[in-house]
Each structure stands twice: as structure tokens, then as C-alpha cells.
Structure 1
């Protein structure tokens, strides 16, 4: 059997398209449909946008109009329970996700096996149930629902202002920029020709081709059961 291809996913829980990419890649890893070593790289989307001199899609009226409809189509196609926050500007553009991504980073450093569940729960909070992802009580609730122990959550909360956490989040964000990222999700496939960047949640057919794998749709297990 050939060696697993390393795939890095740079994501931020403030990004709904990152959630789509996250779920699809996690499904392909869990099912074994793709022979990949998926590396989750929590980063700060605000830093990527600033570093690449990009603008948030919602800041462009025509893109914002398109995005509101596209997210509903993607919700059905990707089978992800996404619901747009009632006050999108406040939740996404004003409150943002810096503290949330520091919390994910703090957990990821010591307990990487919990990163997937915690990230998913934070997406559920902001992008499914329209709940806060900026306050300590929100992180405590998310941690509990993600199966983290009280000790792990307390430890992560206590380290949010530590330089180690800030530096690691900055390092992940800079790593994405070094790959020439300009938004999220940014997927890096490590193949024979070197690292290949694939942007967004709608290029999985291209990613599959780079990896030498077969794209079976957003849920490979469902696709197999229909054969």
C-alpha cells in the first residue's frame, strides 16, 4: 500500500466554507476512501486576509448577496447543518474568532486528538445555533459538548493569553501565508511535485486528482452504499 499523502487544512471556525471543507476531509479520512494523513491547522482568518491584502466576501455587496444563497445550496449538498447567524456582521465581522482560535490552538497543542471535535462544536455554535464563540462560558460549553474534560477546558482557558498560544496561532497563520493563502479554507496537498494549494470547499475533484484518488462526492460512505 502506498504511503499516505499529507493534507493540511488551514481553517478558522468563523468561516462557513471552512466547515464544509473540514467535514468532507474528515469523512474521507475516517472512511479510508482517501489514503491521506489529514493535518488540522487552526489559524486566524483575519490575519490571512490582512497578510494577503484580501477583503472579506461579505464586504463586497454582490459577493454578500451571492454568498447568502450559496451557503444554503452548500448546506444541502454537503449535508452540514449550517444556518446563517441572524446578525452576520456582528457575529462574523465585529466579534470575530481570535479568542476562539486561540482556544482551539491551546487544546490542539496538548490534546490534538480533541481538535476535530472541538472545532466542530464551535462551528455548530456560530454557524448552526447562532451562539457566541467569544466568551469563556461559551468555550466551557463547547468543550463539554466536544467531550473535553473539565481539567482540559480549564487548562486551555488559563493559557489563552500565554505567548506560546499566541505564537502558535501566528505561526499557523503565517504558514498559510507562506503557501500563498488568501482566505479559508486553504488546503495544501503534499504530492510528488511539491505542496499544491487548493482553495475553498468546491475543488475536491481537483484535490482528488492531485492526490491520485477518486472523488465520490461530499460523503464517500453514502456514495458507496448507493452502488
Structure 2
């Protein structure tokens, strides 16, 4: 009998390349470590007071509210645009292009883009960012592990070996063999 998945929250902003590293590693280990990975788009500007990703993070928040299964792909595509291809992610047309490349229909993406200024989306992003701050965040990424009634906050994408230890799992590097074989 397989144990129930353990819950990890990953607070991230696509303007943080370190968030991207943590995001990719945790996505690769979801099944290997039997974790329920909860992606939590957060606004690094509210934590570090300097960012240019407000529209992108509100868009990801809207994706999470209405199409949570698309959140991983859209987040990855925004990171690819800004950090791999040096493309814009602040203009609406750039956000739409990223969403469409991630597999979202133009209509879905446009509908979500129209909602980024709504109180619902703004409040959700603010609440998620506040939750990260309550855990003690001082930057991103922050991974919060909920284990045996205790909460453990880890800052940075270079803490995966410590996370593996907390989970009682084996750390096999950023690209575990099972994933490496598929690449």
C-alpha cells in the first residue's frame, strides 16, 4: 500500500531564475518522492521590493484559479521567455504568446488576461504572497514542507538535498536517472 502523498508548497516568481531551478527540480521529483506539489505564484516585489513581473504573476494567479492544471506549463513557458530566450513577459502580447505556446487556447488566455486586474486575482496573489511571508520568506523560491504535523520552510533552489533528507528520500541530483532517461 502506497503512503499518501506529502504536501509541499513552492512559492515562486518567474522573475527569479532560482525559483525556476527549484520549480524544475520539484516537478521532476513529484512522483519519485510521492509529493503533492502545490504551486504558489507569489510576487517577489512584495518580498524584495523590486520586480517587474506584476502582470505575469497576476496572470499565473488567474491560471491557478481557473485552469490549475495549466499552471506548470504556463509558468515554465514564462521562465523560458525571460531567462532562456531573453524575451519580454510584462506586455500582454508576450503573456498571451507564452500561454498559447504552453497549450492554452487564445480565448482562454485572453479571458484570463482580462481578469488580471480584478479584485479576485489581486487579492489571491496578495494572500499567497502574505502566506509566504508568514512562513518567514525573505526571497524566493520558498518551499514549505508539511510533514507529520510540522511545517518546515526552506529558502532557495539549492536546498533540495535538505528537502530530500526531511522527506526521508534519496537526492539524485537535479535530473534524477528516471527523468534523465526520458530526456
Q: TM-score, normalised by structure 1?
A: 0.76
Per the alignment, residue 86 of structure 2 pairs with 130
Q: Is the 8 A contact 2:12 2:142 kept in 1?
A: yes
Q: Is the 8 A contact 1:104 1:119 kept in 2?
A: yes
Say how many residue pairs are matched: 180
Q: Is the 8 A contact 1:216 1:223 kept in 2?
A: no
Per the alignment, residue 195 of structure 1 pairs with 151
Per the alignment, residue 142 of structure 2 pairs with 186
Q: Is the 8 A contact 1:217 1:223 kept in 2?
A: no
More helix by proportion, 1 or 2?
A: 1
How far apart in 2 are the matches of 1:137 and 1:160? 14
Q: Is the 8 A contact 2:28 2:179 kept in 1?
A: no
Per the alignment, residue 9 of structure 1 pairs with 10
SS at match of 2:104: coil
Per the alignment, residue 140 of structure 1 pairs with 96
Q: Is the 8 A contact 2:12 2:42 kept in 1?
A: yes
Per the alignment, residue 124 of structure 2 pairs with 168
SS at match of 1:217: coil
Change (3 A) 1:224 1:172: same
- Candidates 99, 105, 111, aligned match of 2:55: 99
CA RMSD of aligned residues (A): 1.4
**Of the two, which has the highest radius of gyration?**
1
Q: TM-score, normalised by structure 2?
A: 0.94
